[in-house]
Structure 1
Amino acid sequence: MVVAGTLGLILALAAGLRIWGMSYGLPHPMARPDEQKLVGRAAGMLATGDLNPIEHTYPALLLYLQAAVLFSYAKLGPLLGADALGSHPGLPYLICRALSIAFGVATVAATYLLGRRVDGRRAVALLAALVVATNYLHARDSRWGTVDVAMTFFVTLSLVFAVQASDRQRFRDYQLAGVFAGLAAATKYNAGLVLLATAAAAIAGVGRRRITGPDAVRRLAVAGLTTFLLFTLATPYSVRDWYATWEGFTVSVGMLYGVVGERAASVHLRVTFPDGFGLPVCIAALVGAGRAVWKRDARSLVLLTFVVLMFASMAAVLWVFPRYLLPFVPPLAVLAAEAAAAFVDLSRPAFAAAAALVLAGPGILSSVQFDRVAARKDTRVLAAEWVSANVPGGAAVLVCDNYGAPALNADPRRGPSFRVRLIDCTPSQVEGSGAPYLVTSNHPQMPGYASVDPKLREYLDARARPLAEFRPFREGTFAKPYFYVGDAFFLPFTGLRAMERGGPEVTVWALTRP
């Protein structure tokens, strides 16, 4: 009863850290990169009934789940007194974000199962679940309608049965590991690498003379075939249109290596691990990994095999995304909890509380800082609201066409209020337009996604006047925000004390001086 209550509190904490700020950037359709690709396509499936995703950058399982949730809301929501699906902008995104949060919280519960399978002690499993619940990277990304958190949930369950297979060597465990590996791959292609953990389980069985080499081959064949079967069932068009799938996959991989930048391994070791996981968790996980190797603990080595090989697969890429480390959160949490239990008696409440504070404290602080900023309106949303309230209806408004541009006329409840024209924002285009208003966006650390041409800036300083300015940065702080430039996300990963809100610097200009 105590264990169930404690786990319930951990799940409630996980939900709270993920729900706070979940509406960030809405109703702007590009508040979080990749959301528009997934949620927009899921809404299209709901509207047309066509389940073919057409574009195969991602497999289709999450699209189908999002479409199913949107369909359920469309049918049941009005009956329960909720707003209709098209009643206000951003609602489909909010619903799909809620689905992602559910996957994030479920991953915390799955981590408890993983901890129980690896170590056996409830205290270790609870501590591991708490570490995931408060992991800043996982809490931050659990609120977006993208693939990585759902994929991490399926990866974690596959690891649960891979660990169980290493211990019992039952065909059923290999099958179940394959089931969830297939679902993970059907959510994000490279998650199929979790099957390597199952291979480690078979090798461990041979090494401990629990099974023979041919037995291991048969078990791995069962796991592999099950993975392919579940992948096919969960995302059938990825198999049917295999050439388009391969093309989408190779294009995505090519993009990861086709830019100039720092290697992912360096960025993750320098920033993502220490700031996203917290230094205490990183140190404890390293100790846990070393302990697993020293003791030749087959169950922990299954986790370590997955982490090492998965990290090796992404170490050399040049387009760096912090969310790529999400599948490492549960296994490293278990290794960290095992290390803590090796030095501290977790059965004693005072020691357990101290270990929890050390491992979970940094994640809670970082998550609260992020949530505080994410809960405030993005500058693009504020700018769009200002234009709606202060610019005469029907006026022509030029908008510099970049990723940081506010979305005007985005409210489906009203007809178009303004004549919006997206332009490249050169002085000649602005001068010859005849429009009375211009909206520019600029971000000093991510100029590739929001910037103002210097010549246009000179033109505006001489011939226009700013009507309203919306800035994301706080004044009078020494904190330095760190942005993953390739992530195209206008909220920093660290240095959140420097931020008042998310978004680029947005300015609304009057193009005729009084």
Structure 2
Amino acid sequence: MLINKKVLPYLLLGLILLNGLLLRVDGLNWGIPRAPYWKAYHPDESVAFTTLIKMSASEDGLNPHYFVNPTFHYYLIGTLWWAAQTVNFVPSPREIMDEAPTVTLDHVARIWLTARSLSVALGVLTIWLTYLLGREFFKNQAYALAGAWLAAVMPTMVIQSHYLTVDGPVGFWFLLALWLVIKAFKDKRLWVWAAAGLVSGLAVATKYNALAGIISVFSVLLIRQIINRDQRIEKAQIKIPVFAGCLIAGFLLGCPYSVLSFGEWKGGINSLLTYNDFATDWLYPWLHTSRHSLGWPGWILFLASLSALVIKPDKTGLILAAGILPYFLIYGYKASPFMRHMVLIVPLIILLIIYAMEKAGRYLRHRSFSLIAGVLILLTSGYALANSLAWVKVMSGQDPREEAAEYIKQGVPLDSVIGLAGRLWFYTPPLEENQYHLLRLDYDPAKLEYFHPPLIIISEYESKQYAFCRVAPEVRDDFFKMLKTDYRVSRVFNRVPQCWGIKFEGYPLADWNYFYPEITIYERSL
């Protein structure tokens, strides 16, 4: 049976989207509060959940009193929650606040899954938007399909689609905004400009950092049309203000209390800036964050693809540069170690790689080049797919924190004193305060010497990263020196992400490697 050539690309796109969906659904149950543990391991998810509960109980209604992130995504989750509540799939926020006897852990898990399903849907649509942007950039539909395929399997995009946080969904709104902005500069109709502005505002109302890329791409397209007099915008004096006005309107629609409660909103912005007050390291996003986000093959291709931006630059190259480079400047000035910040631009980096190959193909007109390009795409996507499969496999298994908790419950008497090295609850095995005396040592050697607990639990993140950036070096060094002198390693719980014989280093320790932290239990030496 022969498939129509016109139908084949859409069939392939459908298979790509299906593959992306399956990767984003697998492991979706990870970290959800469920029996016998009432713990959510992703702290930002707990923040979102708490924010929604507060809004439902507040007299202000839609005021979250939390603006480190804008509110549009929380409103979408709340709308989805309301819809699920009307069909009795989940309890209402009021029932949860009142601790109604009908509310069970299963109901809480359903709320989490309902909220996460929105991230899954937007993650799959982000793949589709990567394809649509590819169609804008490339004449050959195969290049757009290659971009969609890479977007479907990139591990950072896959993992962030598992969480109900803003980091994955903003990628959808950001790409949709860029696609509409590009369309607007080609289209004479005023409503396209209005739509581009409105969606741009919603993107910023999902996560503030979307603004930098949108303004950058819009400015590049505007300057380019001003320089090329034969391509000037008709009625620019109307369309540009319409775009700007709709952008503001879209932001206010998604985050109305940025005006209605300006003081609180300003406080949230200050908290955001304080939280992200990292040291300047201009090379960090180029050498580390992008490498972890793309995998070794993709990262090498990305660095090589940058040459295409300076060799005979054209419109496509300028758009991609405008969408990508501002974030590398931002993440270098405040060297964010968080891979979740890269989700926004990973699709653009993918399209840059495809663009560089397509551009090289114009000059190297030889069949062997097409073969080499195809092999490179397969190598990059194969590595990314293996990485994603390795991570979702870990998410689908038992969390090391729960393994450690079960080990302690089976071998450590109730009411025993257990030392916890750090302050962050979400890296701690889910032990109950009413069953054990949990002593938080805060890396303080004086506390360790005074209490000298029989057991101490330390996560990989706490031992290798957190203490090294949150505690004075001399205090930290004394604590770990005393720990090694007076204690021995009793048990280690970890899960190594691996697939097809490849072991993956996973997320940097400073990032959200929530789903497989190594847990070490130290026992006091006799």
Pick one of 248, 253, 263 that aligns with 2:273: 253
SS of the residue 1:487 aligns to: coil
Query: Aligned to 2:491, what secondary structure does the other structure show?
Result: strand
Alignment coverage as a number of residue pairs:
482
Q: CA separation of 1:181/1:507 partners in 2, compared to 1, >3 Å: closer, same or farther?
A: same
Shift of 1:456: 7.1
Q: Which amino acid aligns with 2:511?
A: D
User: Structure 1 residues 303, 424: closer, same or farther in 2, change over 3 A?
Assistant: same
Aligned position for 2:122: 103
Structure-to-structure mapping, 1:5-404, within 5 angstroms: 5-27=11-33, 29=39, 31-46=41-56, 50-76=61-87, 78=89, 86-87=105-106, 90-168=109-187, 170-193=189-212, 194-210=214-230, 212=232, 215-216=235-236, 218-257=238-277, 259-260=278-279, 263=281, 265-282=282-299, 284-285=301-302, 290-291=307-308, 294-342=311-359, 343=361, 354=375, 356-387=377-408, 395=415, 398=418, 400=420, 402-403=423-424, 404=427
CA–CA distance in 1 between the matches of 2:370 and 2:12?
12
Give the letter for the 2:519 counterpart.
Answer: E
In structure 2, what is the Cα distance between the partners aligned to 1:305 and 1:55?
31
Contact 2:24 2:159 in 1 (8 A): yes
Taking a change above 3 Å as real, the CA distance of residues 116 and 85 of structure 1, as seen in their structure-2 partners, is farther
Q: Output the CA distance in 2 between the equivalents of 1:168 and 1:150.
A: 27
Offset of residue 199 of structure 1: 2.2
2:417 equivalent to 1:406:
no
Give 3-state SS (helix, strand or coil) of 2:397's partner: coil
Distance 2:328 2:457 in 1: 39
Query: CA offsets per residue over residues 45-90 of structure 1, 9 Å max, x none?
Result: 35668321112111111111222233333443549xxx97742665
Counterpart-to-counterpart distance in 2, 1:5 and 1:182? 33
Distance 1:288 1:478 in 2: 26
Deviation at residue 152 of structure 1 after TM alignment: 0.9
1:417-456 aligned at under 5 Å gives the runs: 418=435, 421=438, 423-424=440-441, 440-443=457-460, 444-448=463-467, 453-454=479-480
- Larger displacement relative to structure 2 (121-130 or 214-223): 214-223
Task: Report the CA distance between 1:291 and its aligned residue.
Answer: 4.2
- One-letter code aligned to 1:407: P
- What's the TM-score, normalizing by structure 1? 0.79
CA distance in 1, matches of 2:296, 2:237: 40
Q: Which amino acid aligns with 1:405?
A: T
Q: Is the 8 A contact 1:60 1:238 kept in 2?
A: no
Match of 2:491 in 1: 469
CA RMSD of aligned residues (A): 4.0
Conserved? CA contact 1:14–1:134, under 8 Å: yes
Asked if structure 1 preserves the Cα contact closer than 8 Å seen for 2:402 and 2:429, the reply is yes
Measure the CA separation in 1 of the matches of 2:502 and 2:393. 18
**What secondary structure, in the 3-state scheme, does the structure 2 residue paired with 1:408 have?**
coil
Query: Which consecutive unaligned segments of at least 5 residues does structure 1 have?
Result: 410-415, 492-501
Q: How far does residue 271 in structure 1 lie from its aligned partner after superposition?
A: 2.2
Deviation for aligned residue 1:18? 2.4
Structure 2 match to 1:497: none
5+ unaligned residues in a row in structure 2: which ranges?
Answer: 1-6, 91-101
User: Deviation of residue 158 (structure 1)?
Assistant: 0.8
| 1:489 aligned to which of 501, 513, 524 | 513
Q: Cα deviation per residue 1:270-313 (whole Å; 9 max; x = unaligned)? A: 12323422455455556666546555532442232121223323
Structure 1 CA distance for aligned equivalents of residues 302 and 237 of structure 2? 31
Identify if the C-alpha distance between structure 1 residues 227 and 97 changes in structure 2 by more than 3 Å, giving closer, same or farther.
same
Matched residue of 1:148: which SS?
Answer: coil
Q: C-alpha separation between the residues in 2 aligned to 1:286 and 1:505?
A: 35
Change in Cα spacing, 1:129 to 1:183, as seen in structure 2 (3 Å) is same
**Larger displacement relative to structure 2 (47-56 or 313-322):** 47-56
Corresponding residue number in structure 1 for 2:93: none
Report the AA paired with residue 338 of structure 1: Y
Q: Which moved more, 1:334-343 or 1:141-150?
A: 334-343
How far apart, in 2, do the equivalents of 1:353 and 1:77 lie?
A: 50
Give the Å deviation of 1:480.
8.9
Deviation of 1:43 (Å)? 4.0
1:31 alignment partner, SS class: coil
Q: Which range moves more in the overlay, 9-18 or 105-114?
A: 9-18
In the other structure, the counterpart of 2:3 is none
SS of aligned partner of 1:87: helix
Query: Which region of structure 1 is more displaced relative to structure 2, 318-327 or 354-363?
Result: 354-363
Letter in 2 for 1:471: F
CA shift for structure 1 position 406: 2.1
**Cα 1:216/1:325, change in 2 over 3 Å:** farther
* Compared CA separation, residues 352 and 386, structure 1 to 2 (3 A): same
Task: Identify the range of structure 1 (315-324 vs 1-10) with the bigger mean alpha-carbon deviation.
Answer: 315-324
Amino acid at match of 1:105: V
CA drift of 1:446 comes to 2.5
1:116 Cα deviation from its structure 2 partner:
1.3
Q: Distance in 2 between matches of 1:284 and 1:218?
A: 42
The answer as to whether partners of 1:31 and 1:489 remain within 8 angstroms in 2 is no
